[in-house]
Structure 1
Amino acid sequence: MEYNFSDKVVLVTGASSGIGEATALLFAKFGAQLALVGRNEKNLNAVADQCMKELGVRVLPIIADLGTDEGCEKVAKMTLEHYGRLDVLVNNAGIGSKYDLIETNSMEMLDRVFSVNVRGVYNLTRLVVPALVKSNGNIVNISSVVGKMVNVGMLTYSMSKVPPTGFSFFCASCPSSGARVHRTTTITSFYQRLTEITEEEYKKHLEDCERCIPLGKVCTSEDIAKTIVHVASEHSCRVTGTDIVVDGGLQFSSFGNMLKDALN
């Protein structure tokens, strides 16, 4: 199956590592002009440089905090002023919370997580929707399987991954596709940074995960990126408001107690 984004402008948030990085590189491989957003300037510039040097595409790196109105406005303004259009928005940026329960969590933590994972997605999308409507473009919202499963110790993060479902469904009535890719446990540094575990502990965590996944393999960032690109392509031009789960069957397994042990 062939993909061609040579005449498209793609905006990827959370592009400095993990799923966002893999997604940026894959879009670049298929010729997309990119606006890449992240908070880690060094990492973001490295991803942008790789896209430009190895793949020869135009890249606009944008350092911004999408948990703020200023950050969202900066991203929308810089992208549209630089390229004059937008065809694909990938809402991938997200932050997590360390082990938390309702009786121990703080409102400050909840506000911070929701400011990026929920409010930031809504805010950036509303700012660029006019450009997406004009280009007959589409939106891919990245969520997590924890929004569908009970995960002891991940209350705030799990809660923040429920709203994207409804947001995608309700946005489907606009000309943008509104398709949502539902992500799950992947081989990225996100979980390791969140739990502050060692490399050896993280390796053990992935091995434990694989025993819980019916298909027997943990999804990689590249696995998710392939689905994102497919959903954003002309091959999915009639897909809208849908929930695409890429998890190797994890949502059907008993994962909560194992995850609690890993976090402890």
Structure 2
Amino acid sequence: MSLKDKVVLVTGGSSGMGAAIAEKFTSKGAKVAIVGRNAKKLQEVSAKNGNKPHIIVADLVNDEDVKRIVSETISHYGQLDVLVNNAGFNNIVSFLAENAMDTFDQIMLTNLRSAVLLTNIAAPHLIKTKGNVVNISSISALRPYSVTGFSYDTSKAALEHFTRCIALELGPKGVRVNAVSPGPVKSDLVGSMGISAEEAQLIYESVKKGTLLDKVADPEEVADLVYYLASDKARSVTGASFVIDNGAHLNS
């Protein structure tokens, strides 16, 4: 199952699931490149790992930056074996709001187009190594969870279908493509939202009531699933989407 010395590129690697995914791969001896806009946060993630990930500061909505992400990874490590499209964000807005389309365009650029472009540029390198892609989706791709979440939900549903589409084309070339769809996951709420640890705990307590297993997943659990899918243990798996949500999508 080892991915030792394999080269792994993780977007959105400065915090949360992205940081946990980077840490998982580095702990197993992989050579990791992490991408984000916040250099300080990326450096903090890199410093936590013995096999320090290579840092790439870039904005995924900038096409030239996306091209540089791949070229810099290849220049630094010489190849690419695994691409993890993790970067994404949500901005709640009503479909009837005046800025609905601006928000939609912004979310689709980050959550969908950047992943499509990055995968397109990375594909020739992945074909060379018979590598694979793991796209981080959401259970929001399965059904709407918020009355005002049309942009985010649509972007994740599209990302999952994109996963199946390119799995169909790249499979005969030896490249596997899968998606992971998390539900509620503990994240850096305290830092990103400016709330206290106590307030964050109250949020988690409320969220876990919407799951069947009465718990919120840790980022490390998502990282474990991503690692499995990227490994040879999943060598017969492609074009699939794996839900990790403690049963939230079944709890109506």
TM-score bracket, normalised by the shorter chain, equals over 0.9
Q: Does 1:5 align with 2:7?
A: no
Partner of 1:241: helix, strand, or coil?
Answer: coil
Q: Look up the equivalent residue of 1:60 and give its one-letter code.
A: H
Picking from 37, 55, 63, the partner of 1:69 is 63
8 Å CA contact 2:190–2:196 kept in 1: the answer is no
Say whether 1:37 aligns with 2:35. Answer: yes
TM-superposed deviation, 1:191 = 9.4
Q: How many angstroms apart in 1 are the aligned matches of 2:52 and 2:3?
A: 12
Residue 93 (structure 1) aligns with: 87
What is the RMSD computed on CA atoms of the aligned residues?
1.7
Opposite residue 168 of structure 1, the aligned amino acid is T
In structure 2, the CA distance between the partners of 1:197 and 1:145, relative to structure 1 (3 Å rule), is: farther
Give the equivalent residue in structure 1 for 2:13.
15
The offset of 1:204, in angstroms, is 1.8
Contact between 1:9 and 1:86, CA under 8 Å: does it hold in 2? yes
The 3-state SS of whatever aligns with 1:180 is strand
1:54-96 deviation per Cα after TM superposition (whole angstroms, max 9, x unaligned) = x3x2531000011120121110110111111100000000121
Unaligned runs of 5+ in 1: 255-264
Please state if 1:50 is matched with 2:48.
yes
Deviation by residue 1:126-185 (Cα, 9 ceiling, x = unmatched): 001001011000000000111222222222212211111111111112121101111121
**What is the CA-CA distance between 1:190 and the residue it aligns to?**
5.8
Pair 1:190–1:239, CA change in 2 (3 A): farther
User: What is the TM-score when the length of structure 2 is the normalising length?
Assistant: 0.92
TM-score w.r.t. length of structure 1: 0.88
- The total of aligned residue pairs comes to 246
* 1:143 and 2:137 aligned: yes
- Partner of residue 95, structure 2: 102
**Could you say which residue in structure 2 is the equivalent of 1:186?**
185
Confirm or deny: 8 A CA contact 1:68 1:115 kept in the other structure: no
Alignment of 1:90-169 (within 5 A): 90-97=84-91, 99-104=92-97, 105-150=99-144, 151-169=146-164
Q: Using the alignment, how far apart are the partners of 2:228 and 2:217 within structure 1? A: 16
Which residue does 1:208 correspond to in 2? 206
